[in-house]
Every structure is written in C-alpha cells, then in structure tokens.
Amino acid sequence: MSWSDALTKALPLLHALERSGHEAVFVGGCVRDTLSGRALKDVDIATSAEPEEVIAAFPNTIPTGLQHGTVTVVHEKETYEVTTFRTESAYEKFRRPSQVQFVKSLDEDLLRRDFTINSMAMRADGTVYDPFGGQRDLRSGLLRCVGDPDARLQEDALRIVRAVRFASGFHLRIALRTWRAVLRHRHLLAHIAMERIGLELDKMVGGRDPARAAAYLAVSGMLHDTKEGLPQTLLDAAERYRARRKLRGDAASAAESRMLAAIQAVQALDGIEDRWAAICCALGFKEGQAAQLFAVLRYSTARSSQLTAVTAIHQDMLECPSLNEDTRRKWTGTILGRGKSAAIQWLRLVEAIPVLSPADLDQSGYLAQLKEWKQGMQASTNKELAIKGTDLLAIRKEPSGPWLGKLLGELLQAVALGELPNEKQALLQAAADAAPSHFQRPADEGEST
C-alpha cells in the first residue's frame, strides 16, 4: 500500500501513543480517502489513551473538546485531532450525543460511526482494520450504514444528508435498508441547523457527481423537511423530478429536458461557485429566490450577492435572445448594475453549458458578439473611468452628495455604450455641461427612440 504524504507525516503521532502503551490508529475520512486514492483533507486519529494521557504524550497540544475526548496535537506545523475511543448515548434532539463514554475497544468506537466506508481504521504498519466491510462496499459501489440504519440516522439526523453526499461523491448506490431508513426518518432534518445542511450541500455541489446528489435529494423528498424553507422553485423542481423520475425525451417538456440536461452538465464546471450559479440558472431562479436560498443555507453575504447577481443576469438575458440595440443596452446596464465579474461569470457558464442559454438563440454568434462587446467596452466600473469623483467635486464646486454617484454612473453608462470617449477632458466637459439632477448624456439629445 502506498502511504500518502499526509499519513506519513502523521505517523510519529501513532508511534508516540504506542510507545506510551496505548493503541492508536488513523480513522474515518482519511482512511476512506486513502483507500479510494483521493487527496486527504485532514488526518484524524483515534486512540485508547484518555485525553490527559494524550496531553502527556505530546509537547504541544490544545484541549479542543475534552468532554468529547478530543485533543488537538500540533506536530510540524500541522494540527491533528486525536480522539479517545468512545461510545455515544442519549442523543439530544437527533443531533448530538449528550453523553460519551470513553472505552478501550476500537471495535466499539467504530460501531458508533455512520457508514461502513467511514468506519475503517488504519494501523501504523499500514494494515487496515475493517470490521464492517467498508472496503468491499467501496469496491462494489454501495453506501451502507454501520449496523442498524434506523438507529444510526436517528442518532444524528445530519447523516440523512451525509448519505446523499457520500453516495454522490463516491459514485455509490444507497443500500436498500439504508435508503428505507432515509425515507423513514427524513422528517428529523427539521432538528438540524441550516448551517450544517448548507455545508453538506456545498460538498455535494463541489463533489464528483452533483447530478446524482440532485436526483437523490429530489427522489427522497428530503428538501421539504429542513428547519427553514428552501425556495419554492427548488421544491417544485424536486417534486416534478420525483413524480416523473424518468423524465426523458417526449415524456418531459422541452423546458424540463433542458433543465435536466443543464443539471447533468454542471459537473463540467471546475469551480464550486460556477456550479452553484449554473444550478440557480438551470432551475430558473429569480433573483430573490437565489438570495433566499443562500441566506437560508447561511452562506456569506459576499458569496450570496455574487451568485444572486449571476442569477439575475441570466433572467435578464433570457428576455433578450438576439443581439439588437435593446439587448446591447440591456447588457451594458447589466454589466454596470450587476458588476463585471458577475457578467463574466455568467458568460463562462453559458459557454460551458450552452443548454443554459435561451432555446432559440444562435448560441455561438450571440455569445461571441456579447464577448466582443464586453471586451470592447472602454469602462465597465467607476474605477476604469478616466475621471474620479474628486475631479467632479473640483469642477462642480458643490459639496458631495447623491448627485456625485448619479453623475459618475451616467458618465460611466455613456462611456460603456460608446457615446463618450473615456478621456478625462471629454468627461470633464460633459460633467461641466450637465445640470446636477438632470444630467444628460450628449448622445441622448439626438436619440430618436
């Protein structure tokens, strides 16, 4: 077996605990990921040593969760969670154990874990301890709870969503007994903090097979059971998928087929932000629904506003499927209003997933023209304008006020539309000519529309 660098680096921790007379193993995700040939995110260690004994065995430790048996060990600038073998009991409200008991047996520790693929341990000599058949399940493509699925999912209802995350991330089928337990207990998701669900959904979207995750989420109906409501459009799409699982060809409307094709294609995108944006566009979210989704999932405001902006651009652009004067203005307005980076992101999405664009669009021609138009734009942010707010303050000799932003915005729009050159003198002249509250672009005077 080839040891990954991360495990090799952590080996001295196992050796130190063993020297002190304790049993110590790598456990959980790092074993699963090593056996599947994936990069490791973190290395977790389980040990028979109690927390004080772990603290005594290492020079540099942080007592991160002593009551749950976890000590963080700092070793060569890396941190490792070292957790005492434990069993859990008295799960409070289906989410966390209110009591843990430290035990001496690795078997007992592995027994409390969620899925067989997450319940394997690896010893310092590289041998894998796998009492529940995790390796076999990985090989045959099966996600299975350890022991009784009903008990496992009731202990921590987040495992209901984790089941979908692991099934989609590792291309696994959910075993029948586990799946039935998912359906029986999905209502318990109402006890789980939205933030934790948000983290799991993020991992699904960023994972190997987001379309598979979407199918499992839809077919199980679990999106209806979250503590806070998800956007109706999302729930409706999931319901339609559930009702007509094999939507294909004639059976599905053209719009539904396009939506499904777009969701299937999401994994072609590298970045998780692009994938989220593509999902919002594919589902036909309105701006407010995207904002609602990301607020409910507790994503940061910066993330949410960027993704919401891309969604809004998509809605705007669906209304103008050919590149005429109106579209040109709308696109300029979009770039100025929603931000250039959102506009660029949207272009990237529709280029990668053409089925996202309006059906009757001459895709290559339209997109090529849009790109050219965007690139040719002399300025698309205030920063790119050849004058600054201070220049305007100097010539207008008026105190700063809302007029300043308005004037800058109108100058920018005129430059972006090619109606004014992006040159300081021309812009100063236009600003000097303008009445503060009735600023007109020179080109507007001759406009016939």
Ligand X SMILES: Nc1ccn([C@@H]2O[C@H](COP(=O)(O)OP(=O)(O)OP(=O)(O)O)[C@@H](O)[C@H]2O)c(=O)n1
Contacting positions for ligand X (CB under 6 A): 28-29, 41, 113-114, 118-119, 156, 158-159, 162
Mode of pairing for the β-strands spanning 128-129 and 121-122: antiparallel
Task: Tell me the torsion sign for CA atoms 139, 140, 145, 146.
Answer: negative
Smallest distance, ligand X to C-beta of residue 314, A: 31
Smallest distance, ligand X to C-beta of residue 144, A: 13
Smallest distance, ligand X to C-beta of residue 176, A: 21
The phi-psi region of residue 172 (left if phi > 0; otherwise alpha if psi is between -120 and 50; otherwise beta) is beta
d(CA 225, CA 70): 32
Q: How many CB atoms lie within 10 A of CB 433?
A: 10
Contacts 24+ apart (CB under 8 A), 245-253: 245/219
Smallest distance, ligand X to C-beta of residue 135, A: 14
d(CA 15, CA 11): 6
- Of 32 and 275, the one with the shorter C-beta distance to ligand X is 32
d(CA 221, CA 214): 11
Task: Give the residue closest to ligand X by C-beta.
Answer: 29
Residue 383 is classified by DSSP as G
329-363 b/e (C-beta count within 10 Å ≥ 16 → b): ebbbebbbbbbbebbebbbbbbbebebbbbeebeb
- Of 117 and 386, the one with the shorter C-beta distance to ligand X is 117
Smallest distance, ligand X to C-beta of residue 169, A: 8
- Of 158 and 312, the one with the shorter C-beta distance to ligand X is 158
- Those residues with Cβ within 8 angstroms of residue 24's Cβ, 6 or more apart along the chain or in another chain: 13, 14, 17, 18, 45, 46, 47, 48, 49, 82, 124
d(CA 395, CA 85): 74
- Of 206 and 436, the one with the shorter C-beta distance to ligand X is 206
Smallest distance, ligand X to C-beta of residue 81, A: 9
Strand partners, 246: none
- CA 372 to chain CA centroid, Å, is 30
Amino acid, single-letter form, for residue 113: R
Smallest distance, ligand X to C-beta of residue 105, A: 16
d(CA 44, CA 31): 9
Residue 121 is classified by DSSP as E
- Of 15 and 41, the one with the shorter C-beta distance to ligand X is 41
Smallest distance, ligand X to C-beta of residue 1, A: 19
- Of 111 and 235, the one with the shorter C-beta distance to ligand X is 111
d(CA 5, CA 1): 12
d(CA 306, CA 314): 13
Smallest distance, ligand X to C-beta of residue 159, A: 5
Smallest distance, ligand X to C-beta of residue 41, A: 5
- Of 154 and 315, the one with the shorter C-beta distance to ligand X is 154
- Of 158 and 377, the one with the shorter C-beta distance to ligand X is 158
What's the residue count for the chain?
Answer: 449
- Of 31 and 431, the one with the shorter C-beta distance to ligand X is 31
- Of 165 and 338, the one with the shorter C-beta distance to ligand X is 165
d(CA 50, CA 44): 16
